[in-house]
Amino acid sequence: MRRWISGAVLAYVLYGLFIYLYIFQSGDSSVPDSVKGTPADPATFMTGRELILSEEYSKIRNFLFFIKIPFDWLVFFILLVAGFSKKIKSVLERATRFSYLRIAGYVFVLSVIVALCSLPLDWISYQIALNYDISAQSTGSWIKDQVIDFWISFPLMTLVTIVFYALLKKSEKRWWLYAWLITVPFTLFLFFLQPVVIDPLYNDFYPLKDQELKADILALADEAKIPADQVYEVNMSEKTNTLNAYVTGLGNNKRIVLWDTTLKELDKPEILFIMAHEMGHYVMKHVYYGLGGYLLMSLLGLYFIDKIYRWLASRYRTMLNIEGKHDLAALPLLLAIVAILSFLSSPLNNTVSRFMERQADQYAIELTEDKEAGIKTFQELSIAGLSQTNPPALVKFFRYGHPTIMERIQSLDNYKKGEDRE
């Protein structure tokens, strides 16, 4: 046990060292010579201090991202190999004979352990965002969000775990297919509920107050042939100084949302460009394509999860202190497999997302015919978020669901009216 745990910890440390050297030493985020002096060159729209801060903050944030993900895997591995998972299950078996209560109790304890282990890295990320003036959130508000996260994820995880073991007991070979069939309506239900139930738990949403701007946005929507009669703003300035806008939800619960930071920092033409971008997502049905892609990926993912989980639970049951795939104590193994496959599939998801974002950018410039506003928007986004305009390849590969700021500005700068849409 000690040898396995020591090996896992050593592997994590070596991984962290590699990530550190890549991000802080060898990762190339320099501006190509062909871009220097153009609107995509950060030196043309950032001050010297902003250039330094954006590099520092981006590197620290990227480093924390890459070391936090496998940290959860390490926690799951130690819980299994050290026998803690088995002990938790044994205690709950003595406490109650009801399987649902045992599962709920186990998921609660596991969730608390993972939350406590992850808390230091989460706290460091929060403090760094404060130090670089990215976050404006009070400590109390941050803690409140952590608590809300827990009490949303815990019941959902309990429900998923109950369904998983029930399906596995019913059909060892096809549980993954039955699970996917349940996933389809469940996912649609969450997409439908998120804008009106989940999101308001974190922030206050209300109709856009600026009636003149609202009229201009609705006129733009009418030009795009989008049925819309409402635009929302959200009080994100209580938590962040960054800028954003997005589309969320399905059907009657669909919402176009502007952060109040965006309303404060950008001029009307820039706001309209952002809205046109979001309208592009609607017109090109990206929400539905994204949902369809997610359901397809989840089908493939569940299939591979079944194969890997059954193999590991059978081959390494002694080392992992589990009785087999039906054992509740094996839940950390299942969660680790899900997390690893999700991480490995992120480059594909990001590639598809970047393609859709480029389409939405193209739609926005064609609808507004105001590339100057678009260029200014992305420059302001980069300044507000202290974002690298040209991140290293590995960071872009695993983290960027949008084209880089440099790519987006270059695309707009090269736009000529009348060109065919890509």
* Residue stretches of the annotated binding site for Zn(2+): 277, 281, 357
391-to-282, 375, 397, 408 alpha-carbon distances in Å: 28, 18, 10, 13
DSSP letter, residue 403: -
State which amino acid sits at residue 313. Answer: A
Q: Rounded to whole angstroms, how far apart are CA atoms 198 and 88?
A: 31
Name the H helices within 46-204: 48-81, 84-95, 99-131, 139-170, 175-193
Q: Rounded to whole angstroms, how far apart are CA atoms 28 and 10?
A: 27
Sheet holding 232-234: strands in order across? 205-207, 232-234, 255-259, 245-248
State which amino acid sits at residue 2. Answer: R
Count Cα neighbours of 147 within 13 Å in the Cβ-side half-sphere.
Answer: 7
- Measuring CA to CA, which residue among 329, 291, 333, 331 is closest to residue 311? 333
Helix (H) or strand (E) holding 334: helix 331-368
Q: Within the chain, how many helices (H) and strands (E) appear?
A: 15, 4
DSSP letter, residue 240: B
What would the two tokens of residue 335 be? Answer: 């969660």
The catalytic site residues sit at 278, 361
Q: Rounded to whole angstroms, how far apart are CA atoms 159 and 1?
A: 32
- Locus of tokens 């997502």: 281
Q: Which residue numbers belong to the known binding site? A: 277, 281, 357
Q: Rounded to whole angstroms, how far apart are CA atoms 197 and 412?
A: 37
CB neighbour list of residue 70: distance below 8 Å, 6 or more residues apart = 12, 15
Collapse the DSSP code of 234 into the 3-class scheme (helix H, G, I; strand E, B; otherwise coil) and give the result. Answer: strand
How many Cβ atoms are within 10 Å of 213's Cβ, its own excluded? 18
State which amino acid sits at residue 32. Answer: P
